[in-house]
Structure 1
Amino acid sequence: MEAPHLLMLAICCLSLLSRGAAAAKVGGEFSYDPCSDRGPKHWGELNKDWGMCKNGRLQSPISLSKWTADLNQGLGDLRRRQRPADAYLKNDGHEIVVDWDGNDAGSIKIKNIDYQLVNYHWHHPSEHTQDGKTFPLELHMVHINNVTKNIAVIGILYEYGPPDPFIYMLERDIQNLDIDGGVEFLGQVDPRDVKLGGRKYFRYMGSLTTPPCTEGVTWTVMDKVQTVAPYQVRLLKRALVEEKNARPLQKINGRDVSYFDPYSRVGSVAAE
């Protein structure tokens, strides 16, 4: 066996030994570790209901680029009708989640369909890439239609820079959150404290990026890359079982990927 392969094997073994016990206790049903037999390549084999992770054709995340996406002005601006509501901070071992109570936090509207806000959660590094670049962090804003149960997710990418204001508000709570399925009541949290950063975005049909990898998810990934401080990413990492919680890129499989840029036409109407 060549030296690089031996080194990779050693790294994998150390990773499994250091995190194996914790993963078995918290979030142990699947792993992001590529060396693990419960890692992303094996998700579709771990549970009969997770077959889409292996056999699906519309899986997420994918690589995005405005140079290859189809400009689609018919998509229109993303509409947010959100408001402060009671929220909980949760740690399930895989993700730090801000979970809003009930349907009180409002909704987004896509193609005249309302999707109620469910939660915000983070992946590090980013799951989607933009123009071939992976970023330190990605926020997912998860919404669901109460009638059809269809899911819509807004993704925001972050590069290193000034601290993110929303994470800043939660830093003490994240530090105090128990890794063993910790839950903390936050009181009223305004989802609009996370800014979209602009009106340009990518749109495609994909899936959840965690098991069961359900397809039919409407993805909106904002073009504007925002900033997060390195210490904030470290804080999110320390709170979890695994160092990384990002699924590898999936095949596009001929899907349509659209790009909305309101400034490429005259007379565009403001978003919110």
Structure 2
Amino acid sequence: MGSTRLVVLLAAALMLAAAAFPAARAQETDHEEEFSYIIGEENGPEHWGEIKPEWAHCGKGEMQSPIDLSHRRVTLVRDLGYLNHTYRAAEASIVNRGHDIMVRFDGNAGSVVINGTEYYLRQLHWHSPSEHTVDGRRYDMELHMVHESANKKAAVIGLLYEVGHSSDGFLRKMEPYLRMIADKKDREEKVGVIDPRGARGRASVYLRYMGSLTTPPCTEGVVWNIVKRVRTVSKHQLELLREAVHDVSLVIFFFPSTGPIRSVFPPFT
């Protein structure tokens, strides 16, 4: 039991306390027409920080996400414990934001406790391909579960996916709604009660680092928690998500980060 418990508790730590950073609102811009993921365009990632004064972090920030989760930067910490969550089924809506598909929880979907702070689940959304890479490898999809504390600080749990023979159970339940809002930018539909526990899964080992929102305003001070276990998504499900936002292959812009990564051993082997 001792060795098993050790493996479970090998989690990521913060070198700097979250309180040392400005409160990061768990709010990304919903106005896709104001920015683009395409490098070289006037409103592309390299120009995000110039579009609006309040987006300055996108160009000048020092703790920007996403990053490459390189094992050479990982430090083992043995005493952080679980990502203790108390998620629950809640009323939700699905929104086609043009650059991604978001499930927004209109009711109380529960929370996760990180370093003694309770962060409430506000929404989740998908990116394809993944925004974060692991030792330079980009995965087929990444799910972000976005949380916000009572003090408006943000924490995100990220899950990585690769295409395989089996489909993702949570996405399978969402497929009818994805078809409903496909090709309808800014379309929003009520989807009834959704249980986020199906999206989170049970994996316990994760990496943590301090970063930012990955779309404007690129606010820093976000506590990132990337789950170690890579999950499986079907090719059909991936195509459904991409087609819903007219995306053949999303171009992701990477920002440098000076933040430390603390995590499990062995990291992403």
TM-score by length of 1: 0.82
**1:246 shift after superposition:** 5.4
**Closer/same/farther in 2, CA of residues 205 and 69 from structure 1, 3 Å limit:** same
The aligned amino acid for 1:105 is: A
Distance 1:211 1:135 in 2: 23
Is 1:149 aligned with 2:152? Answer: yes
Instruction: Give 2:177's match in structure 1, choosing from 169, 173, 180.
Output: 173
| Residue-by-residue CA offset, 1:5-41 (whole Å, 9 max, x unaligned) | xxxxxxxxxxxxxxxxxxxxx7211011113111111
Identity %: 41
Of 59, 62, 70, the match for 2:64: 59
Whether 1:120 and 2:124 are equivalent positions in the alignment is yes
TM-align CA RMSD = 1.6
Q: Give the Cα separation in 1 of the matches to 2:97 and 2:181.
A: 11
Unpaired runs of 5+ residues, structure 2, are 1-30
Q: SS of 1:28's equivalent?
A: helix
Contact 1:93 1:181 in 2 (8 A): yes
Give CA-to-partner distance per residue, 1:106-127, whole Å, 9 cap, x none.
Answer: 0000011100000110011100
Q: 1:174 to 1:95 in 2, by over 3 A?
A: same
Give, as a single letter, the amino acid of the residue that structure 2 aligns with 1:96. Answer: I
CA distance in 2, matches of 1:223, 1:120: 18
CA distance in 1, matches of 2:125, 2:251: 12
Residues 1-272 of structure 1 mapped to structure 2, 5 A cutoff = 27-102=32-107, 104-146=108-150, 148-161=151-164, 162-177=166-181, 179-245=184-250, 247-253=252-258, 255-260=259-264
Deviations 1:176-205 (A, max 9, x none): 115231111011100001244521111000
Residue 12 of structure 2 aligns with which residue?
none
Instruction: Specify the SS of the correspondent of 1:82.
Output: coil
Q: Is the 8 A contact 1:75 1:260 kept in 2?
A: no
Structure of higher CA gyration radius? 1
Q: Could you list the per-position Cα deviations for residues 228-255 of structure 1 after superposition, in whole angstroms to 9, with x for gaps in the alignment?
A: 11111111111114444453222122x2
Q: Would the alpha carbon gap of residues 134 and 194 (structure 1) be closer, same or farther in structure 2, given more than 3 Å must change?
A: same
Asked whether the equivalents of residues 32 and 242 of structure 1 are also in contact (C-alpha less than 8 Å), the reply is no
The answer on whether the counterparts of 2:91 and 2:192 sit within 8 Å (CA) in structure 1 is yes
- 39-48 or 236-245: which moved more? 236-245
Cα deviation, 1:37-70, whole Å, max 9, x if unaligned, reads 1111111111111000000000000011345300
Task: Tell me which of the two structures has the higher relative contact order, counting C-alpha pairs closer than 8 angstroms and 6 or more residues apart.
Answer: 2
| Distance in 1 (alpha carbons) for counterparts of 2:265 and 2:199 | 21
AA aligned to 1:58 is M
Runs of 5+ in structure 1 lacking a partner?
1-25, 263-272
CA distance in 1, matches of 2:178, 2:250: 16
SS in 2 for 1:247: coil
CA–CA distance in 2 between the matches of 1:197 and 1:42? 39
